[in-house]
């Protein structure tokens, strides 16, 4: 590393579970309304997504041990298991997220920049309709966890920008919040949009943008902002998380344009509506940072690095670093 080049280390969807969350084995199955749904969720978890959602800590420890030197480090959201589905308003989830962020701050210091993921704020369970957005989670996220809703810094001709996907995509997600919290959430979104618009309007024409946005569902809403539309050509890459695996990203691209499905519950409505507008993702030059575990089917997790040239004479060179399950104790 030198003054004319830099290494960026990127990690996402750590989903660390501390002791209190570890004690909640079977928390997803407990949301299922009946035996057939429990069997379906067990099969989905066991063979496709992730059999042990509370077992990610060993992958996080392996990452901390193996991650090499870097000038900048970006964590792209989702630091706890969110086992109560209400984000860090839940004491156990907050403790997990705090442990995760504290360990990264100890390891990387001021080089660490962290975005806010959807699981920090709460997300309705896949079945059973449990949980959702909570204002108390927002207050703890920006207070106790000290995460900034929008952050930016410049290096050479590059500008790094981190945004909060849940606020950007709030029109789609607001139904998951208690009705009496809706006005406060709308105010938070308006403030966030104003900040994002100011950040993009302040870019000079020769600057290149590395954008960090946890959930790509937010990108069509971001594209609606005139200041962002005017700078789309300057966004060299948008690093997303949320999808956990390149397989999911490929499927999302294949299903882009799918009509929204509103009769199968909140989760299906959320995902299908996101896919309906997914063609816009291409304009942002999306690149996925998978979860450290990947998915059960492929065991394809890991993290990214990017090599940057200060003058941006060549595009950022991204590299995926796999974390094989067989090598994680």
Task: For the chain, give every domain's residue range.
Answer: 5-314
- Joined tokens for residue 178: 């208690």
139-184: pLDDT as tens digits: 999 999 999 999 999 999 999 999 999 999 999 999 999 999 999 9
pTM over 0.85: yes
For residues 165 and 171, the answer to whether their CB atoms sit within 8 Å is: no
**In the prediction, which pLDDT does 145 show?**
98
Looking at the predicted structure, is the pLDDT value of residue 16 above 50? yes
> Using 50, 70 and 90 to split pLDDT, how confident is the model at 272?
low
Confidence of residue 258 (pLDDT cuts 50, 70, 90): low
pLDDT at 277: 78
Burial of 1 per CB tally in 10 Å (0-12, 13-18, 19+): exposed
Task: Determine the pLDDT at residue 266.
Answer: 64
Strand stretches in 45-198, DSSP E:
72-75, 112-114, 151-155, 158-163
Which residues, at least 6 apart from 29, have a Cβ–Cβ distance to it below 8 Å?
Answer: 38, 41, 42
Q: What is the mean pLDDT of residues 16-44?
A: 93
Average pLDDT over residues 86-110: 98
185-188 contacts, C-beta under 8 A, 24 or more apart: 185/133, 185/135, 188/138, 188/149
């Amino acid at each position: 590393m030198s003054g004319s080049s830099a290494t960026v280390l990127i990690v996402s969807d750590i989903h660390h579970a501390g002791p209190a969350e570890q004690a909640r084995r079977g928390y997803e199955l407990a949301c299922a309304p009946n035996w057939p749904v429990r069997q379906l969720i067990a099969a989905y978890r066991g063979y496709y997504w992730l059999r042990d959602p509370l077992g990610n800590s060993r992958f996080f420890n392996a990452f901390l041990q193996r991650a090499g030197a870097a000038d900048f480090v970006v964590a792209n959201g989702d630091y706890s298991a969110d086992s109560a589905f209400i984000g860090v308003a839940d004491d156990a989830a907050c403790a997990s997220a705090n442990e995760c962020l504290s360990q990264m701050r100890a390891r990387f210091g001021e080089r660490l920049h962290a975005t806010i993921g959807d699981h920090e704020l709460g997300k309705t369970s896949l079945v059973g309709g449990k949980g959702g957005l909570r204002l108390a989670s927002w207050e703890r996220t920006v207070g106790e966890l000290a995460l900034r809703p929008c952050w930016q810094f410049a290096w050479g001709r590059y500008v790094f920008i981190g945004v909060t996907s849940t606020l950007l995509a709030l029109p789609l997600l607001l139904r998951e919040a208690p009705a009496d919290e809706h006005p406060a959430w709308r105010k938070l979104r308006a403030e966030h949009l104003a900040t994002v618009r100011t950040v993009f309007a302040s870019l000079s024409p020769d600057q290149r943008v590395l954008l960090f946005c946890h959930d790509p569902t937010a990108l069509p809403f971001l594209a609606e902002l005139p200041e962002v539309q005017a700078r789309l050509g300057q966004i060299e890459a948008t690093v997303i998380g949320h999808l956990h695996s390149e397989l999911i990203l490929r499927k999302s691209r294949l299903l882009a344009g799918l009509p929204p499905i509103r009769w199968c519950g909140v989760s299906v409505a959320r995902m299908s509506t996101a896919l309906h507008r997914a063609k816009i993702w291409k304009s942002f030059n999306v690149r996925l940072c998978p979860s450290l575990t990947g998915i059960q089917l492929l065991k394809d997790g890991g993290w990214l690095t990017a090599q940057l040239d200060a003058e941006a004479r060549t595009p950022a060179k991204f590299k995926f670093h796999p974390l094989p399950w067989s090598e994680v104790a």
